Chain A
Amino acid sequence: MSDYNFAYLDEQTKRMIRRAILKGLAIPGYQVPFASREMPMPYGWGTGGVQVSAAVLTPDDTYKVIDQGADDTTNAVSIRRFFQKTAGVDVTEATSEASVIQTRHRIPEQDLRDDQILVYQVPIPEPLRFLEPSEVETRKMHSLEEYGLMHVKLYEDISQHGDIATAYAYPVKVEGRYVMDPSPIPKFDNPKLEMAGIQLFGAGREQRIYAIPPYTQVVSLDFDDYPFQPTKADHACDLCDATDSYLDELIVDDAGGRLFMCSDTDYCATRRKQGHIGAQGVPYGEDAA
C-alpha cells in the first residue's frame, strides 16, 4: 500500500510517540501525555495500541493481535490486517512466534520472552478516574502520591460485600510509586504483569502512553487481611482440559447449558495439538474449523 507511509503514521508522528514511549519506560506506570492522532479506526477500538504498534514495528517483526485472548475475534482480525497492509509485516497466531503482540483485555497464557513486546489497548488509562472524574485532580493525586481514595474504595467494597469487588482492570502499584490501570484484563492476569517482555500501554482517545519495563515490580493493591487473589472459573477447559488458563463461558443450548474454554485460543490449540482433550473436545484436526 504505497499511498501511506510504512506502518501508516508519518515519521514526525512516530517520533513523537517514540519519545513518549521512552519517557514511559523511564518512569514506569506514569501516564505520558501524547498528541494522539485520529486513526482510520474508531476511538475506543484500539487506536492507542495501534499507534504504539505503528511506532514500534519494524519490517522484520512478526505481529500477533488478540482480543479477549483470541486471534480470530473481528477487531483483532481488523487490526492485524491493517498492519499486514500498511507495514507488510508477517503475522502469526502463535504466541511464541510473535515479536510484537497487540492485545485487548488479556495477557497470553504462555510466558513472554525478553525479546517480545506486548502492546495493550487501553480505554481509560487513569486508575482513579471513576473515583475522581477530573483530570486536573487525578494528576495532582499522582504527583503527591495521594492514593488514599483508592484504598478507601477497595475497603468500602470489603465492608459492603466482604470482598474486593473489582474483577478486572484491577489497580496495581508499579515499582512502589505510581498506581496504574493495567487495562481491563481480568485480575487473573495481574501476576503476569511482572514479566521478561516489554509492556507498552496506549490510550488513543485519552492521549496517554505508559509502560512497564521487564522485571519491574508490579503489585496488585490489597490489604493484609484481604490479600489479592487472582481468580478464574472453577473448571477445566472443555476443549483442551487445561486447568491453569483463563476461561470463557459459553451458553451452548436453550436449557442454558454451559461450556468453558480457554480464552487464549493459541494456548488452547497448542495443547490440543499436543493431544490434550477436554470433556467436550475432539482430537485436534478432527473439527471442521
Chain B
Amino acid sequence: MYVAVKGGERAIDNAHAWLAEERRGDKAVPELSVPQIREQMALAVNRVMAEGSLYDPDLAALAIKQARGDLIEAIFLIRAYRTTLPRFGGSNPIETETMTCDRRVSATFKDAPGGQVLGPTFDYTHRLLDFKLAADGDVDDAPLGTPHPDATPHIMSFLDQEDLIQSEPQGAETPADLTRTPLELPASRALRLQSLTRGDEGFILGMAYSTQRGYARNHAFVAELRIGAVAVEMDIPELGFAIEIGEITVTESETVNQFQGSKTQPPQFTRGYGLVFGMTERKAISMALVDRALRWKELGEDNVGAPAQDEEFVLYHSDNIQATGFLEHIKLPHYVDFQSELELIRKLRREAQENIMQEAAE
C-alpha cells in the first residue's frame, strides 16, 4: 500500500522558520544592526544599490542583513521592492563635473586641473590580514586636507578642445527606460549603458577582462576615474524650475581607446564610459571597457566574433537576478518532463535493441 506524500505547506513554513534562525546565528553573539552594515560594509551596500538600481543605503543594508550577506539575494530584495514604488518623474542628468571628488585619478596625464586625488583606496594597501582588526576596530582619524571648492573639469574635455576625441554631443531626447519597456535589439547606447550599470559585477568584469586579453582587444587608458557626491535635481513643473532633491555618490570612469580614422576623417580617440552608483570602481571601469567593445558597429570596426562585442549575448546575460533565478529553477520539480524523457529513451533503446537482434538473426 502506498500513501501519497503531501505537506508542501508545512515544509515551507518550517523551512522559513529554520532560515530565520540560521540568519540570526548564535544568539550569544550580538546582533548586527542595519547602521553597522551601512557604515562598515559600505562596499557591499554600494554593490547592492548599484545592481538593485535603487539608491538607498539603509534599505540596501537591511537587504544584506535579511539575505545573510548573500549579495545577489539582497539585490533581488531591492529590485522586488523597487518595482512597487510609484514614479514621480525623471531627474535632470547629473553633472559629474560638479562632483565633490573623494577620489580622482587619471592614467593619461600626470597632472591636470583638480589634481590627482588618491582617496580612500585599497590600491596600495599590502594585502596582509590585519589581525588587530579581529580584536579591536578602533582607528585614528585620517589627516585632513584642504577641500577643493571648484568644479573638477573632466580630463576628456581637454582632449575634446583639441578635437582629439570623438565628441559625444548631449541628445535632447529622453532615453528609453530598461525597467519599463522590453529590451529590443539592436539597443541604443543609452539602453546598453543602463543594462551594464545594473549588470552583475562579476559578469561585466569577466567581459571586460576578455577584451583586455584579446577578445575584441581595444586597449583602454583610464583617462579619468572619479568618485564622489553629486546633486540630483528635478524639474518641478508647478514651480517652473529645478530643485535639488538629494545627493548621491557615484563612480564615473572614462576611458580613451585606440584611435579611429578613415580617408575622409582624421584619426580620433574613441571613448568608453562607465557610471555606477556608490563607490564601485571595479564595476565602473569594467563597464567602460564593455561599453567600448559594444560600440564596434557605430565606430566602423570589425566584428571579430568576441563575446564582449555581441550585444545580444552581453545584454541578455548580464543581469544576475534573471540569471540566478533561471539557473536555480532547475532544482524545482521537473518530474513531468523527466518522465516524458524516460519513456522516450526507454522506447528508443527498445527499438534499437530490436533492430540489433533482428540484424543478428538475419
Contacts and interface: CB of A to CB of B under 8 A. Distances in A.
* Direct A–B touching, Cβ under 8 Å: yes
Interface of A: 4, 8, 10, 13, 33-40, 42-45, 47, 67-69, 72-78, 104-106, 123, 134-136, 161-163, 165, 167-169, 184-188, 205, 207, 231-233, 238-239, 246-250, 252, 259, 261, 263, 265, 268, 280-282, 287-289
Contacts, number: 160
Contacts of A188: 340
Give chain B's interface residue range (CB within 8 Å of chain A). Answer: 35 or more
Contacts of B321: 38, 42-43
Contact of B83 (A38, A261, A265): A38
Interface SS of chain A: loop
Contacts of A45: 325, 329, 332
A201 B84 CA distance: 23
A2 B337 CA distance: 39
**What 3 pairs between A and B have smallest CB-CB spacing?**
A43-B325, A44-B329, A42-B325
A233 B342 CA distance: 9
A268 B4 CA distance: 11
A67 B2 CA distance: 21
Given A68-B335, A168-B337, A184-B337, A207 B182 contact: yes
B317 to A, nearest CB: 11
Contact of B312 (A74, A135, A231, A287): A135
B6 A37 contact: no
B182 A231 contact: no
Interface string B1-34: 1111111110110000000000000000000000
Nearest to A76: B8
A114 B284 CA distance: 54
Given A33-B184, A39-B80, A44 B328 contact: yes
A53 B52 CA distance: 25
Nearest to A165: B344
A77 B12 contact: yes
B109 interface: no
A252 B335 contact: no
B337 A289 contact: no
B180 interface: yes
Contacts of A75: 332-333
Which of B8, B11, B184, B321 is most buried by chain A, counting CB atoms within 10 A of its CB? Answer: B8
B335 A248 contact: yes
B179 A35 contact: yes
Contact of B344 (A105, A167, A184, A288): A167
A153 to B, nearest CB: 15
Contacts of B185: 135-136
Given A8-B84, A10-B84, A167-B341, 15 more contacts: A37-B83, A106-B336, A136-B312, A163-B347, A168-B337, A186-B340, A205-B322, A259-B2, A261-B2, A265-B4, A268-B4, A280-B1, A282-B1, A289-B3, A289-B7
A92 to B, nearest CB: 15
A267 to B, nearest CB: 13
B66 to A, nearest CB: 12
Contact of A168 (B4, B6, B84, B336): B336
B79 interface: yes
Contact of A77 (B9, B83, B179, B329): B9
Given A38-B80, A40-B80, A44-B325, A186 B333 contact: no
Contact of A43 (B322, B337, B344): B322
A42 B7 contact: no
Contact of A287 (B4, B86, B316, B339): B4
Nearest to B11: A74
A37 B334 CA distance: 25
Contacts of B348: 161-163, 165
Interface of B: 1-9, 11-12, 76, 79-80, 82-84, 86, 179-186, 312, 316, 321-322, 324-329, 332-337, 339-344, 347-348, 351-352
Contacts of B324: 42-43
A186 B5 contact: no
Given A76-B8, A168-B337, A239 B2 contact: yes
B140 to A, nearest CB: 43
23 contacts: A13-B83, A33-B184, A35-B182, A38-B79, A38-B80, A43-B324, A77-B8, A77-B12, A105-B334, A123-B326, A135-B312, A135-B316, A136-B185, A162-B351, A162-B352, A165-B344, A168-B337, A238-B2, A246-B339, A248-B335, A249-B339, A280-B2, A289-B6
Nearest to B81: A40
A36 B322 CA distance: 11
Contacts of A72: 6-9
B4 A261 contact: yes
Contacts of B7: 72, 289
Contacts of B2: 238-239, 250, 252, 259, 261, 280-281
A268 B231 CA distance: 63
B313 to A, nearest CB: 8
Which of A74, A185, A231, A282 is most buried by chain B, counting CB atoms within 10 A of its CB? Answer: A74
Given A10-B86, A77-B8, A135-B185, A168 B340 contact: yes
A134 B312 contact: yes
A287 B335 CA distance: 23
